[in-house]
Amino acid sequence: MAKELKDDPIYELRLYTVAPGRIRDLEARVQNDLCTIFPRHGVRPLGGWSVVAGPATPLYVYLTPFRNMQERNENWGGFYADPAWAECRARTNAGSELVERYEILFLRAIKEWEEAPASDTKSGPAPMVEMVIQSVANGQTVKVRDEILQGTVPALQAAGATVHGVFDVMSGRPLPCAVFFISWPDMEKRARALETLDMRTIEARAAGKILLERSDQYLMRSVPVAWA
C-alpha cells in the first residue's frame, strides 16, 4: 500500500509571457474555460492578475496552493491529460500560441495568504495589486524573515497597504529571494510607503545590515474568475 505523504504546503507561482495584443484572449480563456477545467483537477488559484507595468509585459500571473508537491504533480498531470484542455487550448490559441513562454516559482509561506476585505466597487476604483520579487541577503534566513515580518510588513500596513502574503522562493529564480503580494488603495499611499522603505534601506546600509536588496516590481490588475 502506498504511503500517503504528510501535508507540506507549497505555493506555485506561474508567470506567463503572453503574445503581444492577446492578454484579453488569455483572460477570456481563464474566465470562460479554465474556470471549470482547473477545479476539476484540484487546481484552484488564489488569484490571477494581468501585469500593467513592470519588467515584462504582457504578462499574466497566478498563484495556486497545494498540500504538497505530490498533490501538485498529480493534479497538473490530470489537467494536462484532460481532452477538454486540449480542445480549449487549440480553440483559444486560434492558430498561434497565446503563451509564448512561462516561468514557474515554487514558494513557501513567510506570511500566509490573506484575502482583502470585500469592497464596494461604487466607492472608487479597485485597489492596485503589486507583486514584488525581492532579492534578499544570502545565509541570513532567520534575520530576513524577522525583517520582513517585524519591519517591512508593519511599515507597509502602516502606510495603508494590504499585505496579502509573503513567500520564500524555493526554486525558479536566482536565490535567495522572496515574493510579496500587496494591494494599494491609491498610488499616493504607495509612493509614501516606498519613501519609508527607502529610508529603512538607507539606515540598514549605514549600519552594514542590508537584508532586503534589489527588487522587481509588477503593478497588476486583478482578473476576476468564477471558479466552479
Domains defined along the chain, listed by start = 10-108 (3.30.70.100), 113-221 (3.30.70.100)
| Per-residue pLDDT band at 5 (split at 50, 70, 90) | low
Per the model's pLDDT, the better-predicted residue between 34 and 200 turns out to be 34
| Per-residue pLDDT band at 191 (split at 50, 70, 90) | very high
- Exposure on the CB side of residue 101, measured as CA atoms within 13 A: 3
Identity of the highest mean pLDDT range in 124-128, 201-205, 206-210, 216-220: 216-220
Phi, psi of 164 (to 5 degrees): -75, -35
- Measured CA to CA, the distance from residue 68 to residue 71 in angstroms comes to 5
DSSP-based helix, strand, coil % in the chain, nearest 5: 35, 35, 30
Within 10 angstroms of residue 162's Cβ, the number of other Cβ atoms is 17
211 and 137 in contact (C-beta within 8 Å)? yes
pLDDT of residue 123: 55
| pLDDT above 80: residue 121 | no
- Measured CA to CA, the distance from residue 63 to residue 108 in angstroms comes to 12
pLDDT of residue 183: 96
The CA–CA distances, whole Å, from 20 to 26, 29, 192, 194 equal 11, 16, 33, 31
pLDDT of residue 115: 83
pLDDT of residue 187: 92
C-alpha angle 216/55/69, rounded to 5°?
65
- Measured CA to CA, the distance from residue 16 to residue 223 in angstroms comes to 14
**What is the average pLDDT across 162-176?**
96
Mean pLDDT, the chain, rounded, equals 93
pLDDT of residue 120: 41
